[in-house]
Amino acid sequence: MLSSVFVHRLLHLARAIDAVINPLGRLLSWLVLLTIAVGFYNVMARYIGRFVGLQLASNRLIELQWYLFSMTFLLSFPYVLLRGANVRVDFLEADWSAQRKAMVGFWGTTLLLIPFCLLGLWVTVNPVLQSWGLLPDGTWGQWEMSPDANGLPRAPIKSMVLVAFTLLLAQGISQAIKYWAVWCGYLQGAALPGVETELPPVE
């Protein structure tokens, strides 16, 4: 058995990661509302502009709409994982004990999710740096811009892929710690995602 100090440190790490990811829920709510508002304006501007003979819509606002949607989509992954709202094969684990669920969750997270996040970061970092202007000779040039007139720069939204993989990796580590703690009996099954996401205080 591991020392209680080491276990407590791992649980503190999981709680710290959860504390970072949890506020994403509020941010995502605002991003959804903002996406709807920008989309509504784009539709109204297009039709009203045709009616009055003015160009009220712009490529910048159209691209902003899908930028906001992309951010909502990407940033939702770690929050969904924290809340246990991801798709689960409930009919298979309906009769399983909490420790068995935790064991399967631990190995699934450790062998599948965490390597997937690391692979995603590895294959994404160079394209993102190139989008910011990194040239083959190691110098920096202009960052990537939209091919459409008056469009937005591509580098910031491409960087959100790195941010999303990093946050998902961190939350995967937190979930693996909690799964392991339940599996080994350090925590009750209520710490499993989808049942209760808040860890009990660690003394």
- pLDDT on residue 100: 86
How many residues belong to the chain?
203
- pLDDT on residue 150: 84
From residue 170, alpha-carbon distances to 83, 163, 173 in Å are: 14, 11, 5
- pLDDT on residue 203: 47
Domain boundaries, the chain: 4-191
Is there a contact between 106 and 183 (Cβ–Cβ < 8 Å)? yes
Question: Average pLDDT, whole number, for the chain?
Answer: 86
Residue 66, class by beta-carbon neighbours within 10 Å (0-12 exposed, 13-18 middle, 19+ buried)? middle
Mean pLDDT per 10-residue segment, the chain (203 residues) = 77 93 92 95 88 83 94 94 76 77 91 97 95 89 88 93 97 94 77 48 47
- pLDDT on residue 12: 92
Count of alpha carbons within 13 angstroms of residue 200, beta-carbon side: 11
- pLDDT on residue 89: 64
pTM exceeds cut of 0.85:
yes
